[in-house]
Each structure stands twice: as structure tokens, then as C-alpha cells.
Amino acid sequence: MAARLPEDGRLCDLLATRAIEGLSPAEQDELNDLTANYPDLDPDEFDRVAASLAVSGLRLEPMPAALRARIEADAEAFFGRAGAAPPEAVVTRFPARPRPAAATTTAWGGWLAAAAALVIAVTGWLQVERLDSERSELAARQAGLESAVVRLERTLAEKDAELAARRDPAPGQLLAALEARPGTRVMAWSATDDPAAQGAGGAVIWNDAEQSGLMRFRGLAANDPATVQYQLWIFDAERDDRFPVDGGVFDVLPGEVETLVPIKARLPVGEPVLFAITVEAAGGVVVSSRERIALVAQPEA
């Protein structure tokens, strides 16, 4: 049996409060001072009682498998480093992951860069000579930070995808919506001599008022996104034709019979006079050399 609690109301109050909702730093200091007067006191008793009650009535849910895998990886990292692992090796344990490529990722880039910098800073800190126990503790914290960064990247990628899905309707929905709106124009593509466009056709569907449009292709050659991508340019009568509006990059996948691509104009388009598809290096370009123009479409005069 545990010893009876001392007749100290303030001590009991603090222990109970800690078990229920935690203590402020000042309260924790006070508790530390009080418990020092009772060397036989088991300060965790209230926490155990509270934990017993918190678990009673708990509806157990199975842990998600992906989470379990991450925790087991954390454990491997923690115990793997708790020994004599050199701190310099820590960073290499988590392979670099590709940054989320969704549209809003750049908005988070600064934050992630700061987080990554923090990881690097911790790594540098680890390089300072320290006692083994301290080093292990820091390595575990770093593992937690690295893991948190990876999780945040994953979460941000998911949120980006969710936001993009909300912001951008599916191409089929967009097409139907555009066709139902007044002022929507359909402009047929004309293929050039570029090998990618042999036998290609389709149309641009564009609505000036909505500043929204969609491209439809048939027969446009599939591209290897790792090397080249298609890019749309919109020539605007209200802009210098040396600097057409970037309408976004896109891919044509092998085996696609028809490709629908929403137009993502980076700038407002006043009076479109020409839509042109160029073949560019992967990722697209800011200013096209116009060496490979595959398709063009013009509004009827």
C-alpha cells in the first residue's frame, strides 16, 4: 500500500490540478518545493488515478496503419541513435522527399524552409561535444523534428490537393459549365509541322467574362513529363505580343483518346487573339523561345 497523503491541502490541490489540467510553471515550481518536504511521497499517484478514470469508458479505436508505421520508424530512429550513432549520420536517416507540387505549395515554402533550417540547426548543435546522454536526447528530439517536418509536408500536400479540388472543378464539369454560359467561344486548333502535333486536333473553349477556359485535344502526342511538357500561351491584343500570357503547363498521357486541360491563365486576358501550344522543357518556361509550336487557335474575325 502507498503511504497516506500528507495533510497538506495545497500539496493535494496542486497534485490534483496537475492530474486534471496540468500546472503553470509557477505552480510546478511550488509543487516541487512542497514535494521536497515529503521524500516518501509518490507524486504520480493522482496522475495514475486520473489515468485510470480517463481510460474507463474509453472507446478503443484501432490506430491507423500509416501512423503505426511512422511511430515504428520513430522508435527505430530513437533506439538506433540512443547508442553511439554519430550525430552527423542523423540527417541521412530520413530520405529527402519531393516537395508537394500543388499550386499553393509555394505559399508554404518559407515555412518549410524555416523548419528545414531548424533541423539543420539542430544537426549543427549536435556536432558540439556533449555527454552521450545529452546527445541521445537531442538526437531523439531531432528525429521528432524531422518526422514532424515530413508529416507537415504530407499534410500540406493533402491540403493543397483538397484546396485545388475545391477551387478547380473537374475538367468535364468545367466544360459543361462553360458551354452553358453565354459568351463562350470555341476555337479549333490548327496543327503545325511539329512532330508532336501530327494529326492533332481539338479546340479551345474560352469565356472572356469568366476569364475561364479549357483546351480539348485529340491526337496530340504523349509527352514525357520528366523531359518536356506542353505549355499554353495566350496572346492578348491588350498586351505586348512579345509577352503572351502564360496559360499553364500540361501533359498528354499515353493512351489518352481525348485530353481536357483547364486553362490556368496567370494574368487577366483582355482580348485573346491567339492561343498557342509550345513544347517546352519540363516545368515550363517564363518566356518561350517558340522553337516548337505545336498547335494554334484563333478566334474567328
Partner 1 sequence: MADSLLKRVANGDGGAIKEVMDQFGGLVWSLARRSCYNPADAEDATQEIFLDIWKSASRYDESKGSETLFVAMIARRRLIDRIRRQGREPYMDDIDEPGFELASNTQNEGETFTEAALAAKAVATLKPAQQRVLELGLLQGLSHSEIADVTGMPLGTVKTQMRRGLIRVRELMQVGEVTDLGESS
Nearest residue to 149 (alpha-carbon basis) of 128, 123, 125: 123
Q: Of 50 and 112, which CB lies nearer to partner 1 in the complex structure?
A: 50
- Residue 57 binds to partner 1 (criterion: CB under 8 A): yes
Query: Which range of residues in 64-72, 113-121, 160-168, 289-297 is near partner 1 by CB under 8 A?
Result: 64-72
What residues numbered 149-168 form the site for partner 1, per CB under 8 A? 151, 155
Query: What is the torsion angle, in degrees rounded to the nearest 10, for the CA atoms of residue 272, residue 276, residue 280 and residue 283?
Result: 40
Q: Which three cell numbers stand for residue 94?
A: 530520413
Q: Which of 31, 34, 46, 87: binder of partner 1 (CB under 8 A)?
A: 46
Cβ atoms < 10 Å from Cβ of 96: 7
Rounded CA-CA distance 215/230 in Å is 12
- Least gap, CB of 55 to partner 1 (angstroms): 4
Q: Which of 112, 118, 140, 274: binder of partner 1 (CB under 8 A)?
A: 140
Report the run of H or E that residue 281 belongs to, with start and end: strand 272-281
Using alpha carbons, list the distances in angstroms from residue 77 to 35, 45, 92, 136, 148: 36, 32, 11, 11, 13
Q: Which of 47, 208, 251, 256: binder of partner 1 (CB under 8 A)?
A: 47
Query: Which range of residues in 103-111, 136-144, 265-273, 281-289 is near partner 1 by CB under 8 A?
Result: 136-144
- Residue 79 binds to partner 1 (criterion: CB under 8 A): yes
Rounded CA-CA distance 54/266 in Å is 54
Rounded CA-CA distance 264/245 in Å is 10
Q: Of 1 and 36, which CB lies nearer to partner 1 in the complex structure?
A: 1
- Residue 49 binds to partner 1 (criterion: CB under 8 A): yes
Please give the residue ranges that form the binding site for partner 1 (CB under 8 A): 1-2, 5, 12-13, 16-17, 19-22, 42, 44-64, 67-68, 70-72, 74-76, 78-79, 82, 137, 140, 143-144, 147-148, 151, 155
